[in-house]
Amino acid sequence: MSLRMTFNIVMTAAMAIGLAMAWFMTARISAQEAKSAVLAEAVAIMEAADAVRHYTSLQVQPLLDTQMHAQFLPQSVPFFAVQQTMDKLTERSPGYLFRMPTTNPTNPADRPTDWEAKIIEQLASDAKLKEMIVERSEDGRDLLSYAQPIRVESETCLACHSTPQTAPASLIDIYGPANGFGWKVGDTIGAKIVSVSQEVPRARARKSLVEIMMGLSGVFAVMLLVLNGLLHFSIIRPVRRLSQLADEVSLGNMAVPEFPASPNGEIGSLALSFNRMRRSLVTAMEMLGD
Ligand code: HEC
């Protein structure tokens, strides 16, 4: 096998192994990055939801206090404001979903599904648990869900959520006396859950992976080309020329010109040795001829 062929086979195999390793590592890193991007989005949405809740309870609720005696206005309820705002957001961006499933909810729409009930159960079983991350599939979509517990932290909640008798009559008129009561301070009554589709960041990660691999393959191709050029001009061509000259000399043709050799490098020193040998051979032949 020629030197060029051996060199190219070895180099291509080494580059293919390098590319495979780079693919494996980049794929892992970009999958991790896609996941942390999704998680960061979910956390940001959760913070936005909390901001809406604080705004409603500090700025809207006090203004509607007097009207509440005449008529119950759910607009003043912080959790109502949160759900309404988040519904608008998820309506515009279908990749997101925000829910506040509650084991015994005032609004039946907040009843937990099976997987939500499991999250609430787990959050309720450990009072120190502040958040949970759950990955799941729904309708063929991979989703990442970020959950935080909803705990009754103060007596103020009990004005509406303890018994139907203590709750405003106008609340009972709208929601009825059956649900959303019997909560106690310290109870974990439900969870806030942001679900984000992983499709978009995964597609983004796949695209950048392909781009990185194409870039690397390009670099490898250029390297192979440059190394082939180097091999040709600094090794293959001079060695071929030297071998031709050696052939000529071995066949008795002493008139061949000397190999133009530079004193640097291995090929240069081989050429110098060859020239010296040729000269000695010529002298020996001349002496023999005499
Ligand atoms: C003025 C009465 C009132 C007070 C006080 C109140 N809530 Fe509510 N809460 C409601 C009503 C009414 C709803 C149903 C809103 C809707 O239609 O989505 C609700 C809904 C909720 C929900 C959504 C799940 C569900 O039950 O439908 C949670 C969670 C919740 N409240 C927690 C709390 C907590 C925690 C506090 C105390 C910080 C509190 N609430 C104080 C009236 C109140």
50: pLDDT confidence band, cut at 50, 70 and 90?
Answer: very high
Residue 84 has pLDDT above 80, yes or no: yes
Q: How far is the CA of 44 from the centre of ligand 1 (A)?
A: 23
User: Average pLDDT in the 228-236 region?
Assistant: 93
Regarding the beta carbon of 157 and ligand 1, being less than 6 Å apart is answered yes
Residue 47 has pLDDT above 80, yes or no: yes
Q: How far apart are CA 60 and CA 8, in angstroms?
A: 74
Residue 87 has pLDDT above 90, yes or no: yes
User: Average pLDDT in the 145-168 region?
Assistant: 93
Which residue's CA is the closest to the ligand 1 atom numbered 31? 79
Residue 264 has pLDDT above 90, yes or no: no
User: Average pLDDT in the 165-188 region?
Assistant: 92
Which residue's CA is the closest to the ligand 1 atom numbered 22? 79
* Alpha-carbon distance values, 89 to 39, 55, 80, 187, 194 (Å): 17, 17, 14, 29, 12
265: pLDDT confidence band, cut at 50, 70 and 90?
Answer: confident
Determine the residue of 76, 79, 111 to mutate for testing ligand 1's pocket, defined as the one with the most ligand atoms within 8 A of the Cβ atom.
79
Regarding the beta carbon of 98 and ligand 1, being less than 6 Å apart is answered no
Q: How far apart are CA 275 and CA 178, in angstroms?
A: 108
103-108 contacts, C-beta under 8 A, 24 or more apart: 103/189, 103/190, 104/179, 104/180, 104/181, 104/182, 104/183, 104/189, 105/179, 105/180, 105/190, 106/160, 106/161, 106/175, 106/179, 106/180, 107/80, 107/175, 107/179, 107/180, 108/179
281: pLDDT confidence band, cut at 50, 70 and 90?
Answer: confident
User: Average pLDDT in the 89-116 region?
Assistant: 93
Residue 268: per-residue pLDDT: 87
5: pLDDT confidence band, cut at 50, 70 and 90?
Answer: very high
Residue 30: per-residue pLDDT: 86
Residue 93 has pLDDT above 90, yes or no: no
User: Average pLDDT in the 44-52 region?
Assistant: 96
What's the mean pLDDT when you consider all of the chain?
91
Q: How far is the CA of 116 from the centre of ligand 1 (A)?
A: 18
